[in-house]
Structure 1
Amino acid sequence: MVAEVFDSVAGDGPDVVLMHGLFGSGNNLGSLSRSLQDRYRVHSLDLPNHGRSAWMPDMALGDLAAAVQHWMTHRGLETAHFVGHSLGGKVAMQLALDAPYCVDALVVADIAPVAYPPGHDAVFAALAAVAEAQCHSRQEAAELMTPFLKEESTIQFLLTSLQRASDGTCHWRFNLPVLRDHYSDVLAEVPAQEPFDGRVLFVKGEASDYIQEQHEEAIRERFPRAEIEVIPDSGHWLHAQQPRLFNTVVGRFLDA
């Protein structure tokens, strides 16, 4: 059974679908959404196992892409532009390769279609500490995560997915057990298949190592028309670190 996908919609015009990264939700790309709403109908998705979308038993990229395609059918969308950051970028790439007729243009923010080594041990430890404590406030949750995570910005980002239950205890909105147990699915490469011949823009954070020079071959193999643009003075969270420039780069590409 395909997981149901939650979305929020704003604006009017050609359809643009925004997809967030791991541990995130649809509002993570809110600044980009607001910058596009004057000329596009923007759909901000919660990916399965995140936000208000349904949970599913795995995190395989093909299954996530299938859920997005099912959502498009439910919404009556034949095609759309897609913008995906990190995990959302991998899902968007998978969709473009599996169902190219659904994707008009594609923007991939700071991720490549390659396999990555594990790198979220500290995050999972922090999330588990909060889940086990059944705390009653965001402040308490932040204090529990501090021994594991050095960057306050990472803690604040994760706290956007904390919700309070009817008994007053706080819980993660995302499906932590599945994200942890199927983390390897998130790290997996986007398999090479028939190339997507549509317009594609890869946007790299200058200080990020998620898109490297040696990844270009894998990018071109799957997306022969791909362009790559670098956002200066930014890392993996380029849309939050340089929002005005990121929004301009994405908007200019879609408008073309």
Structure 2
Amino acid sequence: MKLNFKKLGTGKPFVILHGLFGSADNWLSIAKGLENHFTLYLVDQRNHGDSPHADEWNYKVMVEDLKELLDDQKLDMVYLMGHSMGGKTAMKFACTYPEKVEKLIVADISPRYYSVHHQKILEGLNAIDLSSIKSRKEADDILAGYIPELGIRQFLLKSLGRDSNGFVWRINLPVITKNIEEVGKALEEGELYDGRTLFLAGENSNYIQQSDLSDIEQHFPKYEVEFISNAGHWLHAEQPESVIAEVLNFMN
């Protein structure tokens, strides 16, 4: 699959993968802080952003999507970073094609299994009838019945676009809803990346816990963990300067 991506900056290639319900645009502010150091590739994963939609959606095919992008761009080796779902893709890619990854950064996710916990979000998104709403405020009002947090609703509604016929989802909502269990799947036993790996964890998030460290070490023996103060799961949106500083420190 030919993925959509944004390219900016100058220097060694650095690929960034967004999380579930997100897009490449979520990482633009981080990219602006890194563009003097790296050539950045901000990627829309399949069924997200402006990349194609497909019925098949799992980490195996997302890894192959990324491999195709690197081949098309003639990138032999890259720095690779992924957040949440994108972190899972990045981890699996590094284990599958270790020769392609110079250094790996994983933002607020571990290799373990995560149970499905997006039911309310999916209920809310599926409750929005795109054929009848006339404004983004209408969509937000419907979503508010399921998700009280304004910031989360604003993030989700970034995937609500328009075409000549009206509102459309940039995410493949039916496929994501049907296959949501794929998002939480663990790395398989024996999958290994022996390069330097940084795990960034939100201090207020429960996605990376002390009990995850032994599992992380099994797959990424040259790992280190840095906690981002005053940040939850969306650490790049909540504390962008801290994330940029940690990335540059690790790269140098």
- Decide: shared fold, TM above 0.5: yes
TM-score (norm 2): 0.97
Q: What secondary structure is seen at the aligned counterpart in 1 of 2:82?
A: strand
RMSD after superposition: 1.1
**2:130, 2:167 within 8 Å by CA — same for their partners in 1?**
no
8 A contact 2:130–2:168 mirrored in 1? no
What is the aligned length?
Answer: 252
2:240 is equivalent to residue 252 of structure 1:
no
Question: Matches of residues 50-129 of structure 1 in structure 2 within 5 Å?
Answer: 50-129=48-127
Is the contact made by 2:88 and 2:109 (CA closer than 8 Å) also made in structure 1? Answer: yes
The 5 Å alignment of 1:83-232 reads: 83-131=81-129, 134-167=132-165, 169-232=166-229
Worse-matched range after superposition: 56-65 or 215-224:
56-65
Partner of 1:235: 232
Q: Distance in 1 between matches of 2:167 and 2:193?
A: 43
Q: By how many angstroms is 1:39 displaced?
A: 1.5
Query: Does the Cα contact within 8 Å between 2:131 and 2:167 map onto a contact in 1?
Result: no
Partner secondary structure for residue 33 of structure 1: helix
AA in 2 matched with 1:209: N
1:193 CA displacement: 2.4
Letter in 1 for 2:83: H
TM-score, with normalisation over the residues of structure 1? 0.96
Cα separation, 1, equivalents of 2:78 and 2:27: 17
**Cα offsets for 1:100-142 (capped at 9, x unmatched):** 0111101100000111011111100111012455423211111
1:104 match: secondary structure? strand
What CA distance in whole angstroms lies between the structure 2 residues aligned with 1:170 and 1:134? 9
**Equivalent-residue separation in structure 2 for 1:251 and 1:141 (angstroms):** 39
Instruction: Give the secondary-structure state (helix, strand or coil) at the position aligned to 1:52.
Output: coil
Give, in angstroms, the shift of residue 180 of structure 1: 0.8
Deviation (angstroms), 1:22: 0.1
- 1:56-96 CA-partner distances (Å, limit 9, x unpaired): 22321111111101111111111100111100000000000
Percentage identity across paired residues of the two chains: 35
Counterpart amino acid of 1:248?
A
Tell me, which stretches of 5 or more residues in structure 1 are unaligned?
Answer: none
CA–CA distance in structure 1, aligned partners of residues 57 and 111 of structure 2:
16
